[in-house]
Amino acid sequence: DLPSRITIWEVGARDGLQNESAVVPVEVKLEFLDRLADAGLTTLEATSFVHPKWVPQLADAAELLAGLKKREGVRYPVLVPNERGLDRALAAGVEHIAIFGSATETFAGKNLNRTLDEQFAMFEPVVTRARAEGLDVRGYVSMCFGDPWEGPVAADQVVSVGKRLLDMGCSQLSLGDTIGVATTGQVDALLDGFIAAGTSLDALAVHFHDTYGQALANTVAALRRGVSTVDSSAGGLGGCPYAESATGNLATEDLVWALNGLGIETGADLGKLADTSAWMAQRLGRPSPSRVVQALRG
């Protein structure tokens, strides 16, 4: 059974722009967010309060938040790895944050400079303090299906990391296929693992990168199981600077095209989205990888 309505968690301004070799000017980022809101998206992941040396592309996070004209009914979550990041996010008036854990030991080291176990000690005070301040906290789990250094990742390992983040107080878990290697059978197996561990599918979101062209198929597989929040990126921008084989996210336009066909409501205006991605592609100096953007605006 498919849901009648889903929430698109738009990550273009964060996952998309963190991976661009050029730093995009803050005014362009602000216009991007504004256009995405105009296109009817209601969850816009805006930036990250990570170490500016680790992700220079998002070093302007405070400036971005200061310039952001927040819209009624739109949430602007940001990534926060640690207490220093939380201090900065609170000072910027953020209301929704996301911590981001790794399912594997190697990627925890590469992305967070922590062991798998140490990452929880880093997140715990962030979640506790954020909740006490009335913030909503999402938890990401990266490398849910495969890891460039460790190979295939066992579903049990992902479930165990995810449960720890939920038990800490995260309101939602986003399951990340960071390097885009998953296929639909693995998606079913991982969701089975969470169900067996007592997690409600309402608490789960999916986050697919499109390296092997499977992101949309994997997303629809998850929707058929009852997941109703999907991460995607306008124009298919995206990737992770700490996982070289990571490519762009599922394109929001590809998602909306498929969901329009299925009669599933998203609130998104496909024409405005494609215009926005064509505009951004021009700023970045290369065409959008999204097939739907190419078909509509190529």
Say how many residues make up the chain: 298
Annotated catalytic residue: which of 6, 137, 240, 243?
Answer: 240
Work out whether 48 is an interface residue with ligand HMG (CB under 6 A).
yes
Work out whether 92 is an interface residue with ligand HMG (CB under 6 A).
no
Sheet bearing 7-10, strands edge to edge: 43-44, 7-10, 229-232, 204-208, 172-177, 136-142, 96-102, 78-79, 47-48
Spatial contact of 231 and 206, defined as CB atoms under 8 Å apart: yes
How many residues belong to the site for ligand HMG (CB under 6 A)? Answer: 26
Stretch that binds ligand HMG, among 30-38, 78-86, 187-195, 219-227 (CB under 6 A): 78-86
- Shortest Cβ distance from residue 177 to ligand HMG (Å)? 7
Work out whether 142 is an interface residue with ligand HMG (CB under 6 A).
yes
Question: Interface residues for Mg ion in 14-53 (CB under 5 A)?
Answer: 15
Stretch that binds ligand HMG, among 2-10, 111-119, 213-221, 269-277 (CB under 6 A): 111-119
Spatial contact of 3 and 264, defined as CB atoms under 8 Å apart: yes
What are the Cα distances from residue 101, in Å, to 113, 142, 274, 287?
11, 6, 32, 32
> For residue 128, which amino acid is it?
T
Measured from the CB atom, is 54 or 279 closer to ligand HMG?
54
Rounded CA separation 164/142 (Å):
14
Binding mask 221-240 for ligand HMG (x = CB under 6 A): -------------------x
Enter the tokens of residue 39: 């296109």
> For residue 50, which amino acid is it?
V
Question: Which of Mg ion, ligand HMG, none does residue 283 bind (CB under 5 to 8 Å by kind)?
Answer: none
Work out whether 111 is an interface residue with ligand HMG (CB under 6 A).
yes
The pairs formed by 198-203 with CB atoms below 8 angstroms and a separation of 24 or more are 199/159, 199/162, 199/163, 199/166, 199/173, 201/225, 201/226, 201/227, 202/226, 202/228, 203/166, 203/171, 203/172, 203/173
Work out whether 55 is an interface residue with ligand HMG (CB under 6 A).
yes
170 labelled catalytic: no
Work out whether 126 is an interface residue with ligand HMG (CB under 6 A).
no
Work out whether 49 is an interface residue with ligand HMG (CB under 6 A).
yes
Work out whether 288 is an interface residue with ligand HMG (CB under 6 A).
no
- From 288, 260, 183, select the one nearest 8 (Cα to Cα): 260
Which residue reads 């066992």 in tokens? 154
Work out whether 123 is an interface residue with ligand HMG (CB under 6 A).
no
Find the binder of ligand HMG among 43, 47, 57, 82 (CB under 6 A): 82
Find the binder of ligand HMG among 123, 140, 145, 257 (CB under 6 A): 140
Q: Please report, as ranges, the residues that interact with ligand HMG according to CB under 6 A.
A: 15, 18, 48-51, 54-55, 79, 81-82, 84-85, 88, 100, 111-113, 140, 142, 176, 178, 207, 209, 240, 242
Active site residues: 240
